[in-house]
Amino acid sequence: MLSFRSELENIENPIVQHDIVDLAEKISRFKNLQIDQEKFRSIRLARGIYGQRQPGVQMIRIKIPYGKISTKQLVHIADLSDEYASGVLHATTRQDIQIHYVSLDHTPELWAKLEREKITLREACGNTVRNITASEKAGIDPEEPFDVAPYAQESFEYFLRNPVCQEMGRKFKIAFSSSDRDSAYTFIHDLGFIPQIKDGKRGFKVLIGGGLGAQPFLALTAYEFLEEDLLIPFTEAVLRVFDRYGERARRHKARLKFLLADVGLEELLRLVDEEWTSLSHKRYQIDTDALKQPDPLPEGKLYPIQNTNDQAGYNLWLQTNVTEQKQKGFYSVGIRLPNGNLRSLDARSLAEVVKEYAADELRITINQGYLLKFVRPEALPGLYESLKKLGLAEPGFNSAADITSCPGTDTCNLGISSSTGIATALEEVIRTEYPDLVKNSDIKIKISGCPNSCGQHGMASIGFHGSSLKNKTLVLPALQVLLGGGVDASGNGRIAEKVTKIPSKRGPQALRILLDDYEANALTGEYYKDYFTRQGKMYFYNLLKPVTDLSTLIQNDYIDWKQEVPFAVETAVGECAGVIIDLVATLLYDTEEKSVWAAASLEAGAWSDAIYHSYNVFITAAKAYLLTEDVKNNTQAAILRDFDRLFTQEGKFQFKEGSFTEHVLRINKNEPEESFAKKYFSDALIFLEKIKAERNAEHISNSLTAQSS
């Protein structure tokens, strides 16, 4: 693991260097049983390292803000996948790239090498702001009021490593759509932004509290128009509220959507306003000229391939994969990827094709494909032929034939039944039996390996998620069928409804039934989601009832897709043996680490960061001391309340403000200025030392009691 240190010399940013060294040190401490498994899990997830289903190897999630990637970066990731992983690049619905089967020991070196091309792993997973997504056509969309990419980029840079969002109760997702059509699905995000122009000024419609998973919520409208320079401050204030009041103990309730449901939109926005004083930026102007469009290839360039010999295939590809940009005379081209997977060899070849025929920028799309930009019309025949040689010219980009699927049981601990296997089978059904559906951009088929919706089944026209069924004493792989989700013509989102559960091997049969029924009974021009609404859930339950009959099962139904042995539900396996650990001591160690971060921020003059790190010193130290009384809390607000109830009111701790809560919440009643930052930090250190002294006194007392007995 020491070989990564030579790579640090290639990294100019000392903060990034420290991050990578810190990861290596944390891995060493974990292996020496100095960090418990749960704590280490949170550490590595925040650095893009996710434990796989297969013991001893990791999935690495590479953060690609709004999917923007150059050919050089793509080739670099492909080369590193060959060196450290399986040689396959998996595009995700959040516009990341994942690589699999990486040794934990190699992750610092891998990260250091990624940073050569300004690619990060930081906060790709974990309880923080995840990869910020945006419409892949942002900047080239003919319907966009303005390009949202600079706003997504600035949001990514502002919140990366921001102390406000490092250890929240759960993940936080942000999306930017390019127009009211909401092609980025902002309605399923914690925060969604849709560009608007009002009275000649730029701003955003703001959606809040959306989410998928086992309990999906459609986001509510927080503002019809929020001025553009309020976007960053508003987002930071929401994150502060979520950090303080969001659930932490019950993981299934620890998303912003549940906090919104508990307190209501009006109260949530009041809490957001309450945080405004503490913000270092009350307004934050984004430089929209800082992010430039890539240079198109010169006009009059002679392309290696001038014509195509496959006129029929080319015409279909033009119809389904090629779209005019808002820039006159240029086209964007979509590339379908089965299950979102691209071999590293093909990635390198694709990069060469892009450099020959398009601008040097790709966008990873939320339907797990790639989008090329600024293709001139005379380049299209040669581009088609070149992509065809790579198997990357399949028609039907973002159509019913372009099925979204998470990795599921291939690599994920949470997968219940195979998602990639059924996706491949359903694509074959469409290719051979319903070829015209490559032209249908209304029906979206999405599959996840479990209810968590990484494959976004909850917003599919026809969705499936992995499950299981029991037939007497035997268990078989199953699919939960969901129907009627998606986006309508006005950009309004709709969550798919659960209809029934079927044996997984009958997925193709169920798809045929649904498609044949739609073709036979839908009104002319009726969208699938509208057809579902008109017919009603029970209609489809009865339609699929024959497929649910377990009395006609055959032996093959008990074997999952891509498997040869009978199906068994597998639960997540821990990554190390159990460790007996002093949780209070661990929390106090964390508190001291946070105090070091606060001191460093003070030294750098980053007053707001120093204040928030100091706030976390108060919170984590109080949490540790509450554990000595066996009091566990589910929110930071509850920590403040219980500390007052148990210790302040009893006189064990005294504060000038009267209560611990008021003492700590000075954070949102003071401007983030130098004098307050230094005073607040000093008070946090005094509190930490008091907690440590009380803890040591109790240890001595307990030891003397034990000796006397």
Percentage with pLDDT > 70 across the chain: 96
Q: What is the DSSP string of 676-705?
A: HHHHHHHHHHHHHHHHHHHHHHHHHHHHHH
Token pair listed for 375: 């293709």
396, pLDDT greater than 70: yes
Work out whether strand 462-471 and strand 445-448 pair parallel, antiparallel, or are unpaired: parallel
The distance from CA 364 to its chain's CA centroid, rounded to whole angstroms, is: 14
- Residue 574: per-residue pLDDT: 32
For the cut 60, the answer to whether the pLDDT of residue 463 exceeds it is yes
Q: In angstroms, what CA-CA distances link 550 with 313, 539, 568?
A: 42, 20, 17
326-348 per-position pLDDT tens digit? 999 999 999 999 999 999 999 99
φ, ψ at 498 (rounded to 5°): -70, 130
How would residue 584 be classed by pLDDT, with cut points 50, 70 and 90? confident
Domain 141-278 matches domain 404-558 at the CATH topology level = yes
Residue 579 scores a pLDDT above 90: no
H or E element at residue 176: strand 174-176
Consecutive H or E run containing 363: strand 362-364
Task: Quote the percentage of the chain above a pLDDT of 90.
Answer: 87
pLDDT at 39 over 70: yes
Residue 513 in 3-state DSSP?
helix
Q: Could you count the other beta carbons within 10 Å of the beta carbon of residue 159?
A: 21
Q: Write the pLDDT tens digit of every residue in 475-498.
A: 999 999 999 999 988 889 999 999
Query: What b/e readout covers 639-676, taking b as 16+ CB neighbours within 10 angstroms?
Result: bbebbbeebbeeeebeeeeebbbebbbbbbebebeeeb
Q: Which fold has domain 2-117?
A: Alpha-Beta Plaits (3.30.70)
Does the pLDDT of residue 708 top 50, yes or no? no
Q: Which two tokens stand for residue 356?
A: 């020959």
Reported confidence tier of residue 571, pLDDT bands at 50, 70, 90 = low
**Residue 570 pLDDT:** 74
State how far the alpha carbon of 302 is from the alpha carbons of 322, 349, 356, 558, in Å: 21, 20, 10, 57
Name the DSSP letter for residue 120.
B
140-181 residue pLDDT tens: 999 999 999 999 999 999 999 999 999 899 999 999 999 999
Do 96 and 48 touch, CB atoms closer than 8 A? no
Contact between 231 and 193 under an 8 Å Cβ cutoff? The reply is yes
Indicate the average pLDDT of the chain: 93
Sign of CA dihedral 700, 701, 705, 706: negative
The domain spans of the chain are 2-117, 141-278, 311-389, 404-558, 583-708
Residue 2 has pLDDT above 70, yes or no: no
- CB of 387 closer than 8 Å to CB of 354: no
Overall average pLDDT of the 62-81 stretch: 98
Q: Write down the pLDDT at residue 342.
A: 98
pLDDT of residue 257: 97
Give CATH superfamily name and number for 404-558: Sulfite Reductase Hemoprotein, domain 1 (3.30.413.10)
> Torsion angle, CA of 467/470/476/478, rounded to 10 degrees?
-30
Residue 305, pLDDT > 70, answer: yes
Question: Per CATH, the architecture of 583-708 is what?
Answer: Up-down Bundle (1.20)
Note whether 467 and 452 are within 8 A (CB).
no
Domain 141-278 in CATH 3.40.190.10 = no
Q: Is the pLDDT confidence value at 704 over 50?
A: no
DSSP H stretches of helix in 484-536: 507-521, 528-535
Q: What is the pLDDT of residue 3?
A: 67
Q: How confident is the model at residue 572 (pLDDT cuts 50, 70, 90)?
A: low
Domain at 311-389: CATH code: 3.30.70.3340
Is the Cβ–Cβ distance between 19 and 122 less than 8 Å? yes
For 555-566, what is the mean pLDDT?
94
pLDDT in tens, 412-435: 989 999 999 999 999 999 999 999
Dihedral over alpha carbons 416, 421, 427, 432 (to 10 degrees): -130
pLDDT for 451? 92
Indicate the SS3 state at residue 478.
Answer: strand
Between CA 399 and CA 426 the distance in angstroms is 13
- Most confident region among 60-64, 487-491, 692-696 by mean pLDDT: 60-64
